[in-house]
């Protein structure tokens, strides 16, 4: 199932069509995306068997918003691909390195990325969306707590990231730095949940290309580790790290500027197209 947010309302894809979840289920399921994620097993069970009510069909072109518009928690994982660990001279780490990608930065699959001053970089990521609350989740049980995956951009201000003791969380959380979407895809639809390909182009040049096989900590290991410390809630986002090819590691380094176009692709999900625009306040 593909699930997302159209105009602030929960929507699912059926064939070539998108349906408003609340209307298509005759009001038996929530119309708010966050409320739908909170009853995820009911949503997936309905989508697997029920015939959507025609009144729920969304006519015309659909513009998807962020599939999780108001995540309670949004977590990023630094240096989680072996290729990226090599390019950043970070040897493999013993435990996942987490930071906060503050929820106020989360935007949608066609949202503009506002470029502040500093060295602003791209990072394609697989974003895991939690579908069931849990603490101390074992790796074996971890996929059962996943609603699905979506595309993410962990846009990063390298200048801020390098200051002092590393302002990792703020450097990743400028307004508009968290594009997500276009939809959440349930794990059963993936070709291989342990080998999810992902890529990123900037102005048509492929900058990143990899697979989740290259992760230092797998998706189940990340969920298990985080849940030893945090309670994970439906709708929580985990940005699971980026493969090699970030702009800071090019020779010479290259960064994002107003006018650039970022295309972010995750296998089984699709792609996001985000335009970079000037910061009109800071300019």
User: Measured from the CB atom, is 104 or 169 closer to Zn ion?
Assistant: 169
We find the least distance from the C-beta atom of residue 216 to Zn ion, in angstroms, to be 13
Q: Which of residues 147-166 bind Zn ion (CB under 5 A)?
A: 154
User: Measured from the CB atom, is 3 or 81 closer to Zn ion?
Assistant: 81
Q: Quote the tokens at residue 224.
A: 């298990």
Distance between CA atoms of residues 256 and 254, nearest Å:
7
Distance between CA atoms of residues 1 and 145, nearest Å:
16
Q: Quote the tokens at residue 46.
A: 């309905």
Residues for the chain: how many in total? 283
User: Measured from the CB atom, is 176 or 186 closer to Zn ion?
Assistant: 176
Give the nearest residue (CB) to Zn ion. 154
Size of the site for Zn ion (CB under 5 A): 3
260 binds Zn ion (CB under 5 A): no
We find the least distance from the C-beta atom of residue 4 to Zn ion, in angstroms, to be 22
Q: Quote the tokens at residue 233.
A: 């809630």
* DSSP states along 14-61: ETTEEEEHHHHTTTSS-SSHHHHHHTHHHHHHHHHHPPPPGGGB--S-
Candidates 73, 227, 242, 254: give the one binding Zn ion (CB under 5 A). 242
Task: Report the Cα–Cα distance between both ends of the chain, in Å, rounded.
Answer: 42
Choices 101-109, 139-147, 221-229, 235-243 (CB under 5 A): range interacting with Zn ion: 235-243
Q: Which of residues 102-121 bind Zn ion (CB under 5 A)?
A: none
User: Measured from the CB atom, is 52 or 247 closer to Zn ion?
Assistant: 247
User: Measured from the CB atom, is 66 or 243 closer to Zn ion?
Assistant: 243
We find the least distance from the C-beta atom of residue 154 to Zn ion, in angstroms, to be 3
Distance between CA atoms of residues 262 and 122, nearest Å:
8
Which residues, at least 6 apart from 146, have a Cβ–Cβ distance to it below 8 Å?
128, 129, 130, 131, 187, 219, 223
Give me the residues that bind Zn ion (CB under 5 A), please: 123, 154, 242
């Amino acid at each position: 199932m593909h699930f997302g947010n159209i105009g602030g309302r929960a929507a699912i894809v059926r064939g070539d069509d998108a349906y408003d979840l609340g209307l298509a289920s005759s009001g038996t399921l929530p119309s708010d995306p966050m409320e739908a994620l909170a009853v995820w097993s009911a949503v997936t069970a309905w989508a697997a068997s029920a015939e959507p009510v025609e009144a729920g069909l969304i006519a015309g072109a659909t513009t998807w918003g962020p599939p999780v518009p108001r995540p309670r928690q949004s977590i990023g994982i630094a240096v989680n691909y072996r290729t990226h660990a090599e390019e950043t001279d970070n040897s493999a780490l013993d435990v996942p390195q987490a930071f906060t990608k503050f929820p106020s930065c989360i935007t949608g699959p066609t949202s503009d990325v506002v470029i502040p001053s500093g060295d602003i970089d791209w990072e394609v990521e697989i974003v895991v969306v939690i579908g069931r609350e849990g603490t101390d989740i074992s790796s074996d049980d971890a996929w059962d707590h996943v609603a699905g995956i979506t595309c993410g951009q962990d846009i990063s201000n390298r200048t801020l990231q390098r200051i002092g003791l590393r302002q990792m969380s703020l450097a990743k959380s400028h307004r508009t730095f968290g594009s997500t979407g276009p939809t959440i895809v349930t794990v059963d639809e993936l070709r291989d949940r342990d080998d999810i390909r992902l890529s990123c182009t900037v102005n048509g040049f492929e900058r990143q290309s990899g697979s989740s096989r290259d992760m230092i900590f797998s998706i189940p290991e990340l969920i298990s580790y985080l849940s030893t410390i945090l309670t994970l809630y439906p709708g929580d986002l985990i940005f699971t790290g980026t493969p090699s090819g970030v702009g800071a590691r090019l020779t010479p380094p290259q960064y994002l500027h107003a006018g650039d176009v970022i295309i972010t692709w995750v296998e089984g999900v699709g792609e996001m197209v985000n335009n970079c625009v000037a910061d009109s306040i800071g300019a």
